[in-house]
Amino acid sequence: MNSKLLFSLVCSAVLFASGCNTNPHFYNDANQPATPVTATQKQTDAKILSSLIVLNKNEIAAANAAQQKSANHAVRNYAETMNKAHSRNLQEAEHLSQKLDVAPKQGQTAAQLQRKGRQELATLNRLQNHAFDRAYINAMVKDHAAALQLLDQRLIPQATNPQLRQYLEVTRAHVAQHLKQAQAVQSQLSNS
């Protein structure tokens, strides 16, 4: 009896572990129905990918500026984390784009995000010292909150490809974590 229970537990653990893949390039589509994708659906997914790519590039550019200009240890550490995380997410978005054979296509949302990113970077580049640190962290709090809203209200609901939707949901979890980290640094700066 004990050996049957042990065997059942081992089998359950193996089945559970097989569903816990940590490979960032793994998007399970084995059980997805093979339905034809319309041109409109593919275009929507292409615009979503473009928006995500622009968001990542904006965060990388701001993080690079913070790594160069900030004298605050917490701000520099946060910027380094953002640079690595958004560079990785950018690579994953580009990899998924190739895998799905969906070339990113800039739509209105991506164009607006690109303009906003340029304006934000120009503002940051004019600042120095503590003013820079506060502006950078305030921008990160605002940007990550806006990214969560964009993911929740538009990108995830509009994604037609199950792999893209799964990728966006994973990205959303990372963005939520980045927001909490930015808020912690923001609080630390307010207390100093």
pLDDT (tens digit per residue) in 34-52: 455 688 888 999 999 999 9
Mean pLDDT of 110-122: 97
At 192 the pLDDT is 75
The CATH number that applies at residue 96 is 1.20.1260.10
Confirm whether 88 is domain-assigned. yes
Structure tokens at 120: 């934000």
What mean pLDDT is predicted for residues 83-107? 96
- Note the pLDDT of residue 40: 84
Arithmetic mean of pLDDT over the chain: 86
d(CA 54, CA 177): 19
Query: Given a cut of 60, is residue 102 above it in pLDDT?
Result: yes
Structural tokens at position 115: 């303009």
- Inside any domain, residue 33: no
Per DSSP, the chain holds a count of helices (H) and strands (E) of 7, 0
Q: Indicate whether 9 belongs to any domain.
A: no
CA nearest neighbour of 48 among 155, 165, 151, 162: 155
Does the pLDDT at position 16 exceed 50? no
160-191 residue pLDDT tens: 999 999 999 999 999 999 999 999 999 999 98
CA angle 78, 134, 54 (to 5 degrees): 60
Q: Which of 115, 113, 134 is nearest to 124 (CA)?
A: 134
Give residue 36's pLDDT.
58
Residue tagged 């913070």 (tokens) = 66
The answer as to whether 180 is a domain residue is: yes
Lowest mean pLDDT among 39-43, 71-75, 102-106: 39-43
Structural domains of the chain, count: 1
Q: Containing domain of residue 124, as a range? A: 39-190
Measured in Å, how far apart are the chain's first and last C-alpha atoms?
63
Check the CA dihedral 20-154-31-39 and report its sign. negative
